Amino acid sequence: MVTHIKTTIDIAATILEAAKEKARREGRTLKQVVEEALRACLEVGAPRRRPFRLRDAAFGGKGVQAPIQEGKWEQIRGLTYPR
């Protein structure tokens, strides 16, 4: 048994206008177009995205080396931007 429930939703005006136009072109009701779109969406489901993975940008260095000591920003800046 199919029951129908009235509800109110907010959607973008452009999407509503496109749905109304599709319904008019196809000689169908807006309700039919919206229900069809929802069914298609629910059947297929949301596209599965792979989890984000940050690519390894290491370049094969040997890490912090002498004469740089970690935590000494002035020293690092001085070696990076010599005057």
pTM score, whole prediction: 0.50
Q: Mean pLDDT throughout 67-80?
A: 77
* Cβ burial 15-53 (10 Å sphere, 16+ → b, else e): eeeebeebbeeeeeeeeebbeeeeeeeeeeeeeeeeeee
How confident is the model at residue 45, as a pLDDT? 61
Predicted confidence (pLDDT) per residue in 23-61, tens digit: 999 999 999 999 999 988 887 666 677 888 888 887 777
